[in-house]
Amino acid sequence: MAALPWDAIFTIAVLVVVVVAMLRDWLRVEMAFLGGLGAVLFAGVITPDQAFAGFSNPAVLTVGSLFVVAAGVQRTGALSFLDRIIFSSNRSLYRVLPRLMAPTSVFSAFLNNTPIVAMLTPRVQEWAERHDVAASKLLIPLSYASIVGGTITLVGTSTNIVVAGLLIDADIPPLQMFDLAWVGVPITFVVLIYFAVGGHRLLPDHGSTQPTAQAAFRESLFEVEVAPDSRLIGETLEEAGLRALKDAYVVHVRRDGRLMPASPDVLLQGGDALTVSGKINMFYQLLQREGLRPPHQSVVEDGEERLPVFEAVVAESAEFAGKTLKEVNFRERYGGVVLAIQRRDERLEGPLGRVPIKAGDLLIIEAREGFDDRWNANRSVFYLVAPRRAPRPRPTPRKAPLALAILAAMILAFATSVIPLVTAAFVAALLMMASGAITVGDARDSIDVPVLIVIASALGLGGALEVTGVAAAAAHGIVSVTAAGGLVFVLLGLYVVTNILTELITNNAAAALMVPIALATAVELGVDPIAFAVIVAIAASASFISPIGYQTNLMVMGPGGYRFVDYFKVGLPVTLLVMATTVAVVFFVWIL
């Protein structure tokens, strides 16, 4: 095989730098891809038209429009009836999990799975608390169900749309609405049956949401403050009802920098900070009491509404691990105020600001909007930042039937080939706004711009792989390594490479980079390119062994109290089952 030209070598080097920059958290994902695109453009590897073709690709507009459609359905509360289908009084996991996973998969086939998981996560937590079941037994299956459900239709996930767009660019007949169902339906059934029959035994039990009092007292440390005009001023702790708390107790009272034991007869004064140890939900219950508020160092200015609260899991590489909040000046440095610290298997003592922070601690942080976006891009500080309670816009149930009708019309119009998918999605998004199912402001906020930037930039880099011959060389490499085992091994090789890439970067970027390689492989072997495109689409979405590869895995990490190893332990068998099923179905449907 001839040596690669300079532009191919340069493109490979740029991609290596892009991947390393994301793995080492040097840059946000979208900035890494934009930087890579700029590098190959500046070097003359591709022309401006080729570099920016991704930004005009119909896939980008389609994905953006589907964000709005999904948000419109969610905002109207159109899926609230799922509560009656999913949740019952039966606590047996082999019965609960199918009831949770099957509807989730079905709706993820037609809606973006992010809002579905966001909507169901707090409901799952509430059900788990009522029935004394660990939420960690339910939330990974919820995420996995949304992932496999998204593989059933072309609109189920943005990855499918990216692959379809690249096929159109290559003058290959595009995927239709239910073409992927040949694979998506079988792998969905396999995953559901796996968890119902025996897979639930691998799910971690990170404790019931209703622990014993002794265990609850070890869970968290937080502070509440007596407001200056509180009716509690002049009352003792006992008279104020702060001694006999169900799942917590007051450790001490901090007044003018002095600590006092929390004896029953301590008279409360305005500005007193009560340090409380116990179940984290007691923090929110205490704030509902008249006269109590978060500590005065809150970032809220006078006259402002309360800011959102976020959960943040401290990473092992965080520079403040082992230090106190006071030592690192947390508020000024990180733009938020820690309201509570939650730690497993260790009792927390002392004032909140003087407790040394450890890796794995869950911090409850009050901060301005965008705190999660800013710090999720840098996993060297926090493994995950997620809203403690996602803001729930006031639902407009009157619009729910209309929102569902718009969704159904969009699906029908594309499935029957009346109009292209990009047209159907764009018109549906406009109708959502025009009908009042979602406001223009909410529609704008629902669009995940970084995702669109990643898709567009990755499409440009994928074009560079193609024009420089890197895609053809990679395809030849995959074929030469796997061809001895036949086409099945070639499909397995392509699947494994795509799946590893999606675990390292993102699903959409992995798909955009691997489709040119897949198509080149199909050309070299003289087989139907659709088969290889389907392999890439499924492998890029099937992220189960880490919380990084797919957004819904990250979303449930905090609420479920999961660790990285939990995803590997639970997800590896799922990955193998989905891979085997996908390769078998693709071989028999598109190649034989």
**From residue 272, how far is each of 254, 266, 275, 285, 351 by CA, in Å?**
6, 11, 10, 18, 13
Say how far apart CA 465 and CA 103 lie, in whole Å.
39
Compute the average pLDDT of residues 198-209: 76
Q: What is the pLDDT of residue 561?
A: 75
Residue 586: pLDDT band with limits 50, 70, 90: very high
Q: What is the pLDDT of residue 216?
A: 33
Residues 6 or more apart whose Cβ sits within 8 Å of residue 469:
4, 5, 8
Please compute Rg for the chain using Cα positions. Answer: 26
Say how far apart CA 387 and CA 115 lie, in whole Å.
13
* Of 566, 565, 470, 564, nearest in space to 513 by CA: 470
Run of H or E residues at 250? strand 248-255
Instruction: Indicate yes or no: pTM above 0.75.
Output: no
Residues 6 or more apart whose Cβ sits within 8 Å of residue 586:
183, 491, 531, 534, 535
Per-residue pLDDT of 414-452, as tens digits, reads 888 788 888 988 999 999 999 888 888 878 877 877 778
- From 166-175, 330-339, 509-518, 531-540, the region with the lowest mean pLDDT: 330-339
Per the model's pLDDT, the better-predicted residue between 179 and 259 turns out to be 179
Q: What is the pLDDT of residue 346?
A: 65
DSSP secondary structure code for residue 297 in this structure? T
Handedness of CA 233, 239, 244, 249 (dihedral sign): positive
CA angle 430/435/436 to nearest 5° reads: 105
Compute the average pLDDT of residues 267-275: 85
Task: Report how far Cα 517 is from the mean position of its chain's Cα atoms.
Answer: 27
Here the tokens at position 436 are 């009042």
Q: What is the pLDDT of residue 168?
A: 84
Question: Taking 50 as the threshold, does the pLDDT of residue 209 lie above it?
Answer: no
- From 233-242, 453-462, 517-526, 556-565, the region with the lowest mean pLDDT: 556-565
* Of 10, 166, 56, nearest in space to 514 by CA: 166
Say how far apart CA 109 and CA 70 lie, in whole Å.
12
Residue 469: pLDDT band with limits 50, 70, 90: confident
Say how far apart CA 516 and CA 524 lie, in whole Å.
12
Residues 6 or more apart whose Cβ sits within 8 Å of residue 348:
218, 220, 221, 277, 341, 355
Compute the average pLDDT of residues 559-570: 83
What is the third-level CATH fold of 309-387?
A: Alpha-Beta Plaits (3.30.70)
Question: Taking 50 as the threshold, does the pLDDT of residue 468 lie above it?
Answer: yes
Beta-ladder partners of 363: 312, 341
Residue 82: pLDDT band with limits 50, 70, 90: low
Q: What letter represents residue 117's amino acid?
A: V
Would you say 539 and 578 are in contact if contact means Cβ atoms under 8 Å apart? no
Question: Taking 50 as the threshold, does the pLDDT of residue 390 lie above it?
Answer: no
Per-residue pLDDT of 171-193, as tens digits, reads 888 888 899 999 999 999 999 99
Question: Taking 90 as the threshold, does the pLDDT of residue 543 lie above it?
Answer: no
Torsional class of 351: left (φ above 0), alpha (ψ -120 to 50), beta (otherwise): beta
- The pLDDT mean for the chain works out to 80
Q: What is the pLDDT of residue 260?
A: 78
Question: Taking 80 as the threshold, does the pLDDT of residue 396 lie above it?
Answer: no
Per domain, the residue ranges of the chain are 61-207+395-449, 309-387
Q: What is the pLDDT of residue 195?
A: 92
Q: What is the pLDDT of residue 129?
A: 76
Handedness of CA 15, 17, 22, 24 (dihedral sign): positive
Q: Strand, helix or coil at 523? A: helix
Compute the average pLDDT of residues 26-31: 74
High-pLDDT (> 90) share of the chain, %: 15
Helices 487-504 and 6-23, interaxial angle, to 10°?
Answer: 50
Most confident of the following: 102-111, 150-159, 397-406, 573-582: 573-582
Q: What is the pLDDT of residue 299?
A: 43
Handedness of CA 110, 111, 112, 118 (dihedral sign): negative
DSSP string, 371-413: HHHHHHT-TTTEEEEEESS---PPP-GGGHHHHHHHHHHHHHH
DSSP string, 172-222: -PPPPTTTTHHHHHHHHHHHHHHHHHTGGGGS-----SS--HHHHTTTEEE
Would you say 22 and 457 are in contact if contact means Cβ atoms under 8 Å apart? no
Counting every residue, how long is the chain? 592
Question: Taking 60 as the threshold, does the pLDDT of residue 198 lie above it?
Answer: yes
Question: Taking 60 as the threshold, does the pLDDT of residue 215 lie above it?
Answer: no
Residues 6 or more apart whose Cβ sits within 8 Å of residue 502:
510, 511, 539, 540, 541, 542, 543, 549, 550
Per the model's pLDDT, the better-predicted residue between 290 and 464 turns out to be 464
Q: What is the pLDDT of residue 21?
A: 80
Within a 13 Å sphere around the CA of 184, how many CA atoms are in the beta-carbon half?
Answer: 29
Q: What is the pLDDT of residue 427?
A: 93
Residue carrying the six token digits 């305005």: 270
DSSP secondary structure code for residue 289 in this structure? S
Handedness of CA 490, 495, 501, 504 (dihedral sign): negative
Compute the average pLDDT of residues 392-405: 72
Handedness of CA 566, 567, 569, 570 (dihedral sign): positive
Q: Strand, helix or coil at 342? A: strand
Here the tokens at position 375 are 């710090």
Q: What is the pLDDT of residue 228?
A: 85
Run of H or E residues at 364? strand 362-367
Say how far apart CA 585 and CA 592 lie, in whole Å.
10
Question: Taking 50 as the threshold, does the pLDDT of residue 208 lie above it?
Answer: no
* Of 591, 487, 504, nearest in space to 539 by CA: 504
Here the tokens at position 252 are 């001490």
Residues 6 or more apart whose Cβ sits within 8 Å of residue 398:
none
Residues 6 or more apart whose Cβ sits within 8 Å of residue 42:
none
Per-residue pLDDT of 83-126, as tens digits, reads 667 777 666 777 788 888 998 999 889 887 777 787 787 778 77
Contacts 24+ apart (CB under 8 A), 236-245: 236/264, 236/265, 236/266, 236/267, 236/268, 237/262, 237/263, 237/264, 237/265, 237/266, 237/268, 238/264, 238/265, 240/268, 242/274, 245/276, 245/278, 245/282
Per the model's pLDDT, the better-predicted residue between 69 and 125 turns out to be 69
